[in-house]
Amino acid sequence: MALKQSEKLFAAAKQLFPGGVNSPVRAFQSVGGHPLFISRASGAYLTDVDGNNYIDYVGSWGPMIAGHAHPKVVEAIQDTAAQGTSFGAPSPLEVQMAKQLMRHLPSLQRLRLVNSGTEAVMGALRAARGFTGRPKILKFAGCYHGHADYLLVKAGSGALTHGRPDSLGVPESLVEHTLVAPYNDLAATEKLARPHRKDLAAVIVEPIVGNMGCVLPKPGFLEGLRKLCDATGALLVFDEVMTGFRVHPGGAQDLFGIRPDLTTLGKVIGGGLPVGAYGGRADVMKCVSPEGGVYQAGTLSGNPVAMAAGLATLKLISTPKAHAKLLHKTERLAKGIAEVAQRARCRVQVPYACGMLSLFFSGRPVENLDDAMASQGALFRRFFHEMLARGVYLPPSPYEAWFVSLAHGENEIAKTLRAAKDSFLTLAKENG
């Protein structure tokens, strides 16, 4: 596998971008080695600048649920772009998009379109604070909600305290209103919230986590958060930027039958172009400018080309049949990986939901950030490179979810399982 062109480009990129990349996890820092520069992608496959092909399980970190360069999506983008790429005025595709989103997620009584998941979360939480007149936000360790200052906080192991920033450049005063609880621990969450119940504007959660690897909510956890919010007057915000239109046509909220007050979306709804959305209760969304006093705006929001890509993608994915297929593929892959690992005597956990899964080298179930961090990252690093050498491109970190698309067929899954079997055997040999 020659990687000359990727190496050359990365050397050049390091002189241009911090760490040679425009988003940190792309740099391969948690697995070592050089990132691949991708020249093209089609269906389930990526091709790098050296001409190597890979079965792709990153899927641009979620958006490419219909597969890369799906002809219907490409056609929609081309046709729409030919009519003008941005107007800075209302256009019909925004209305179509909003109707599609509302049809599948009835909790969205009003919504606002933005350009990224980060922006969607910032808008939703500002609306929650504006509506409630309260300052505090409760989040969970290991959940990622974009890179807004006050959300770059996760508690140190087991610490249930006021936030401490994870990033330089975030003054402590900006995170003083951020509370961090352990995922899946309702008792700890209630205890943390109790002294702040009159100040709590929102509880924000990934209803299925994708950002510490794939971690499923324990039965009763999300229901408990709904009750906590009802009891305190805080708004329940489901961050479905990753799970929306992936785990179920109606998102995790439909899958679990829980109605959040606000929802954030992104990734899939842009079909590979930059889109985000936030929305929910009409009385809350009425607070958003120009109807209300919570300011939020965007030069390119509701961009017609992005709407076209998103609508074409939603058309392909948002049917029960498409989702049944995607779930079946994901199940085959997750169960297959657990099986070949077991045969090689590697102790792993492979949690999954429709269209997403992850691999933890751990002997016990992963329920929260501490469990995820306790898994053997070093083994994942080895596994990642073994898989890459066999033509399978996994997320370059043990703490990210793998994404399956409609374009992953029986062939790709069988090939992936063969590569996994050989990779586990190699690891088992090395570790005695």
Query: Residue with CB nearest ligand PLP?
Result: 117
Site string for ligand PLP, 265-284 (x = CB under 6 A): -x---------x--------
Of 206, 367, 400, 412, the one binding ligand PLP (CB under 6 A) is: 206
Applying CB under 6 A, does 210 fall inside the site for ligand PLP?
yes
Cβ distance to ligand PLP smaller for residue 263 or 362: 263
Cβ distance to ligand PLP smaller for residue 401 or 420: 401
Applying CB under 6 A, does 416 fall inside the site for ligand PLP?
no
Closest CA to 23 of 53, 51, 62, 55: 62
Applying CB under 6 A, does 303 fall inside the site for ligand PLP?
no
Site string for ligand PLP, 320-359 (x = CB under 6 A): ----------------------------------------
Q: How far is the CB of 202 from ligand PLP (least distance, A)?
A: 14
Pick the catalytic residue from 136, 139, 267, 329. 267
Query: How many angstroms separate the first and last alpha carbons of the chain?
Result: 27
Q: How far is the CB of 148 from ligand PLP (least distance, A)?
A: 9
Q: Determine the residue type at 79.
A: D
Cβ distance to ligand PLP smaller for residue 386 or 400: 400
Site string for ligand PLP, 125-144 (x = CB under 6 A): -------------------x
Lookup: tokens for 142:
């290991």
Closest CA to 196 of 180, 184, 185: 180
Of 68, 126, 139, 145, the one binding ligand PLP (CB under 6 A) is: 145
- 295, with CB counted inside 10 A (0-12, 13-18, 19+), is exposed
Applying CB under 6 A, does 376 fall inside the site for ligand PLP?
no
Chain centroid to Cα 56, Å, comes to 16
Lookup: tokens for 296:
């939020």
Lookup: tokens for 93:
């595709």
239 assigned to active site: yes
Lookup: tokens for 313:
């993608």
Applying CB under 6 A, does 31 fall inside the site for ligand PLP?
no
Q: How far is the CB of 118 from ligand PLP (least distance, A)?
A: 3
Q: How far is the CB of 179 from ligand PLP (least distance, A)?
A: 18
* Interface with ligand PLP: number of residues (CB under 6 A): 15
Pick the catalytic residue from 48, 56, 185, 239. 239
- CA dist 29 and 32 (Å) reads 5
Of 80, 118, 178, 318, the one binding ligand PLP (CB under 6 A) is: 118
Of 116, 132, 178, 405, the one binding ligand PLP (CB under 6 A) is: 116
Of the listed pieces 96-104, 203-211, 230-238, 370-378, which binds ligand PLP according to CB under 6 A?
203-211
Of 48, 56, 185, 239, the one binding ligand PLP (CB under 6 A) is: 239
Pick the catalytic residue from 45, 54, 144, 352. 144
Q: How far is the CB of 151 from ligand PLP (least distance, A)?
A: 9
Q: Which residues bind ligand PLP (CB under 6 A)?
A: 116-118, 121, 144-146, 206, 210-211, 239, 241-242, 266, 276
Q: Please identify every residue annotated as catalytic.
A: 144, 239, 267
